Amino acid sequence: MDFNDVIIKPVLSEKSTSLAEMRKYVFRVSKKANKKIVKRAIKEIFNVEPVSVNIINVRGHRKRVRYNYGFTPSWKKAIVTLKEGDKIELFEGQ
């Protein structure tokens, strides 16, 4: 698996922005990714040293479309904690 296929996109929300101040960055990752793969991908793509990675499976939500109900797809979220002094420029200046 290519490292660019592991990290899909950053999650930019109010909570993830406040976590970025504590050196914790939130990414949407591939459903096949695990902690070791995400840690190596962050290290290769952003040239920073991750200390820890937490993985969360986010369940899809039920949505109503006219007369029927459907579900949004489930996805996987990774919260990456960086060592002291490192930061990812992608989240800065948003």
Model confidence at 90, pLDDT cuts 50, 70, 90, reads confident
| Domains in the chain: boundaries | 3-82
The residue-averaged pLDDT of 79-91 equals 89
The pLDDT value given to residue 91:
67
SS3 per residue for the chain: CCHHHHEEEECCCHHHHHHHCCCEEEEEECCCCCHHHHHHHHHHHHCCCEEEEEEEEECCCEEEECCEEEECCCEEEEEEEECCCCCCCCCCCC
What architecture is the 3-82 domain classified under in CATH?
Answer: 2-Layer Sandwich (3.30)
Render pLDDT for 26-79 as a digit per residue (tens, 0 to 9).
999 999 999 999 999 999 999 999 999 999 999 999 999 899 999 999 999 999
Q: What is the pTM of this model?
A: 0.88
Q: Quick one: which of 92, 11, 17 has its CA closest to 48?
A: 92
The pLDDT value given to residue 2:
87
